[in-house]
Structure 1
Amino acid sequence: MNKSFDLIVLGVGMAAVNAANKCADAGWSVAVVDELPYGGTCALRGCDPKKMLRRGAEIIDSARLMQGKGIEPNDLAINWPDLIAFAQTFTGRMPEKIEGGLERNGVTTLHGTAQFVGEDTIEIEGQGRFQANHILIATGAKPRPVDVPGAEHLTNSTEFMRMDALPKRILFIGGGFVSFEFGHIAARAGSEVQIIDRGDRPLKAFDTNLVEKLVARGEEIGVGLRRRTSLKSIATDGVEFIVTVEKNGETEDLHADLVVHGAGRVPEIDRLNLSAANIEAGDKGIAVNEYLQSLSNPKIYAAGDAANTHGPPLTPVAVFEGKVAASNMLKGNQTKPDYRGVPSAVFTIPELTRVGMLEEEAEEAGYNIRVAENDTGNWYSNLRVGETCAATRIIIDKDTDTILGAHLLGPEYGEIINFFGLAMRLSLTTRDLKKLVAAYPSVGSDLGSML
């Protein structure tokens, strides 16, 4: 086996696959290595299987919203083992598909735990040492360590999506994506769900007004939220978990059949022995310059969740960062990642989305703004499906008529947010957007009215 390459990529998620293929296409000798099945978090343990589970919850919710409107949903229920099996029809084939695609492109595929042993050399456990002219770190992220007694009892999102049965009482720790998305799925599947959040404002990156609407919608279907509540310990008596929490200086014991980690993620870099390669890193990942090159070792680049960049921790960002890193390794540092107009979505039911600035951020930046605010719960596209929880808030620069930020809560708004993201990337004005002639009746036809 060749043990010297032009490029070695650590990790085989989306950033890694795109970078490896781009460099291999250019004629470089490339190897990838991962200790887990190929595919990364999104394809195997995150966005993709999660949204397949969400489909079951969507069906349940849609039927209930149409009760008394021609649909009788009383006997409709989620068969959890079958739903998990459905998600695995996708995740089960992805590692082989990804590995096969890499190999057909001439990439050497390696498996095992890798560590640095020099500035351009790694060692793979049981396989020896491998040297490369460039090394790309794209190892992704892992659940943030939780430092309380009994933290070993926490279930993470990966384990959640492998459970054969869904427990009756589920407690989620943290007020972020994981807790809200899985909480909304579990509640529709019949579980009693609570989320504890140590802050006053869950889903902090999203518009406060829309978050509060979503919280109220969640409470209607059984997703409870405890604010300003800190986790102190987790214990078990062999039958249930006893979770001690603190609020306003007073402690309380909560009882649950499952406790799920939803307290954020951190870069998966601590086992790489970065010091052996003189690689600077911090809590947010590998320290890189604007070209995604290590600040301390020019042979090293980083992309995705492993890198400390200005991009949000999203799969599409990892994809284009992988491509940018590959381009800069191939041609010299010429390309910088463009983070304009990158949308994000919380796939609750209904979904909550954002692109660009919050209102307060635009005000702090000194923009002369107009906020186009709409309660869309009575608009035809939502009336049609029985959903009354829907609203939009668009932040517009009065001076240029361009979009500074868009915030949407409602069915299928995860698709509409992409229009706003594209408008921001292309500097389109609201007048440009209103020129759209959309298929009608479609959710997209509401775009102009949102402005």
Structure 2
Amino acid sequence: MRTYDCIVIGTGSAGNQAAYKFIEKGLRVAIVENFTPGGTCAQRGCDAKKILLTGSETKDAVERLLGYGVKGLISIDWRQLMERKNEYTRAIPEQTRKRYAETDIDYFHGEPHFVSSHRLRIGEEEIEGKQFLIATGLRPRELSVPGSERFITSNEFLELKELPRRLVCIGGGYISFEFAHLARIAGADVTIVLRSNALKQFESELVDVLLEATRALGISIIKEAEVVAYEEESLYLSNGDVLKTDIVLNATGRVASIDQLGLEAIGVAHNEKGIHVNAYLQSSVEHIYAAGDVAVSGNPALTPFAGTEGRLAADNMLEGNNRKLELLPVPSVVFTAPNLALVGETEAALKKAGIPYRGRLIDTSAWQTNARIKDSFARAKVLVGEDDQVLGAHFIGVNAAELANYFSFAMQHRIPSTSMQQTGFAYPTPASDIASLFED
């Protein structure tokens, strides 16, 4: 039986960052994957999705500017767009395995299961480790209604060879809205089914604007309804509606990918959301750590946090628990048309916590930066505390993601709002609008 100083389970951002740190210290390292090596973000998430969105973003921009000096429509070639995505993603597994070989990381492919707290079984083979890092991420939540075995998830959507003529997206989160917008702009008839409020973690006033923009695209939204059954091409809802559709996308959320690990038997505390960790990313079992989306750390499930957590966990495993996890404000973005973005706290959260603030919703659609690109849904809300620090920044519009990045930088480095207002930026650009985003 092979023995390792550390065994990493998962080959995404968190797992890879940790494995390379262990190798740099001259340790013997194994990494285990039950899917294609390289992680979700690059192959079945952020990167792959954004390549497809390049097509819908371009088409949306052209259609917005018709009559603004732009003539002629463009169309999306779904097969060609998907092949462009595949050119990027198909190389990742081999590139990942090659780098493991070059850096002397032993790679194991298969379903991992703890035989004991120091021993892992992968298929017919068992390996032993002094320490473990679990970085298995999240997987799509399954629905259990008649016919749900025919639903697709984001994984299958990103492999569709043909754009469906009719698509129903179940769920009110990122994936549901992003893929609904992508498919609609590409030419599909799309309906979103919401059980409750959409995008609950975002500023509610801006979510309302996104719902308005979604309907303006021609997407139907059905609220307060659940799926009851799917039979042939008919999707039955709890409100009595029957939707005719070719494909149903189950985008009802994601759960921790840990069912197969056998964590109960070795005493690792966890729930559906993931593995419970302390400020050092250490689980309830001393020599087992968790990082990335699978760790219930207080950070949202975003790629920037995964790599940071992987490195931090590795440091603590190598040197003892001497680095605590710092919860930094990082933007969350829904890549719809237009984008919806937030960084920091919402107004509702500040009110609930009793934290004083100033700030209000501003309609920025008539500002030159947005008017020239016919961004009729552009809005902003910046929330500032009594100490002049930005507590939250919320945007919807074509430039929402980049504006959120500016405010993330300011919040992480505690740059007061007055300094942001006094900073000179190139004009006219989205950044040059920052000084006008603060309430007088």
Category of TM-score, reference length = shorter chain: over 0.9
Q: Residues 369 and 395 of structure 1 are in contact (CA less than 8 Å); yes or no, is this contact kept in structure 2? A: yes
Q: Aligned letter for 2:394? A: H
Q: Which moved more, 1:2-11 or 1:166-175?
A: 2-11
Q: Deviations over 1:237-287 (max 9, x none)?
A: xxxx2111013xxx2211101100110000000011113322221121112
Letter of the structure 2 residue corresponding to residue 246 of structure 1: S
Amino acid at match of 1:203: L
2:396 aligned residue: 409
Q: Secondary structure at the match of 2:32?
A: strand
Structural mapping, 1:255-334, within 5 Å: 255-295=244-284, 297-334=285-322
- Supply the distance in 2 between the matched residues of 1:27 and 1:413 (Cα, whole angstroms): 44
3-state SS, counterpart of residue 307 of structure 2: helix
Percent identity at matched positions? 36
Structure 2 counterpart of 1:193, from 186, 190, 200: 190
Count of equivalent residues: 438
- 5+ long unaligned stretches in structure 1: none
Q: Does 1:234 align with 2:230?
A: yes
Task: Give the match's secondary structure for 1:71.
Answer: coil
* Deviation for aligned residue 1:103: 2.9
Deviation at 1:364, TM superposition (A): 1.7
Q: Distance between the aligned counterparts of 2:319 and 2:405, measured in 1?
A: 31
- 3-state SS of paired residue (1:434): helix
Partner of residue 413 from structure 2, selected from 426, 443, 446: 426
Give the Cα separation in 2 of the matches to 1:340 and 1:35.
Answer: 31
CA distance in 2, matches of 1:85, 1:215: 31
Counterpart residue number, 2:19: 20
Deviations 1:198-256 (A, max 9, x none): 11x211111111111111111111122111111111111xxxx2111013xxx221110
Matched residues in 2 for 1:222 and 1:15: separation? 39
Q: Secondary structure at the match of 1:217?
A: helix
Give the whole-Å Cα distance in 2 for the aligned partners of 1:91 and 1:103.
20
Aligned mate of 1:140, from 137, 140, 145: 137
Report if the CA contact (8 A) 1:17-1:102 is conserved.
no
In structure 1, the partner of 2:387 is 400
CA contact (8 A) 1:372 1:396 kept: no
Q: Which amino acid letter does the alignment assign opposite residue 417 of structure 1?
A: A
From 245, 266, 281, the counterpart of 2:237? 245
Normalised by the length of structure 2, the TM-score is 0.97
Question: Given that residues 210 and 391 in structure 1 are in contact (C-alpha distance below 8 angstroms), is that contact kept between their aligned partners in structure 2?
Answer: yes
Distance (whole Å) between structure 1 residues aligned to residue 54 and residue 146 of structure 2 = 36
Cα displacement (A) at 1:306 = 1.4
Cα shift readout 1:167-197 (whole Å, capped 9, x = no counterpart):
1110001111111000000000000110001
Tell me the residue number matched to 1:203. Answer: 199
Is 1:446 aligned to residue 438 of structure 2?
no
CA distance, structure 2, for counterparts of residue 119 and residue 444 of structure 1: 52
Local SS of the residue matching 1:163: coil
Amino acid at match of 1:106: D
Partner residue in 2 for 1:172: 169
Shift of residue 98, structure 1, vs aligned partner:
2.3
Farther off after superposition, 32-41 or 171-180: 32-41
Deviation at 1:372, TM superposition (A): 4.1
Question: Displacement of 1:102 after TM fit?
Answer: 3.0
Structure 2 counterpart of 1:358: 346
Secondary structure (helix, strand or coil) at the match of 2:76 reads coil
The yes-or-no answer on 1:150 pairing with 2:147 is yes
CA distance in 2, matches of 1:156, 1:386: 33
The reply on whether 1:55 has 2:54 as its aligned counterpart is yes
Distance in 1, matches of 2:413 and 2:329, equals 9
Q: Which amino acid aligns with 2:289?
A: Y
In 2: Cα distance, 1:261 partner to 1:73 partner: 35
Find the aligned partners of 1:418 and 1:104 in 2 and give their Cα distance: 35
Scaled by the length of structure 1, what TM-score is found?
0.95
Aligned mate of 1:383, from 357, 363, 371: 371
Question: Which ranges in structure 2 are unaligned for 5 or more consecutive residues?
Answer: none
| SS of alignment partner, residue 132 of structure 1 | strand
- Look up the SS of the partner of 1:407 in the other structure: strand
One-letter code aligned to 2:423: L
Q: What SS does the corresponding residue of 1:395 show, helix, strand or coil?
A: strand
The answer (yes or no) to whether the contact 1:184–1:348 under 8 Å persists in 2 is yes
Q: Distance in 2 between matches of 1:380 and 1:86?
A: 34
Q: Give RMSD over aligned pairs.
A: 1.3
Against the structure 1 CA distance between its residues 193 and 302, is the aligned structure 2 distance closer, same or farther, given a 3 Å change threshold?
A: same
Secondary structure, in 3 states, of the residue corresponding to 1:212?
helix
Stretch moving more, 171-180 or 364-373: 364-373
Q: Does 1:90 align with 2:78?
A: no
Q: Partners of 1:446 and 1:307 in 2: how far apart?
A: 38
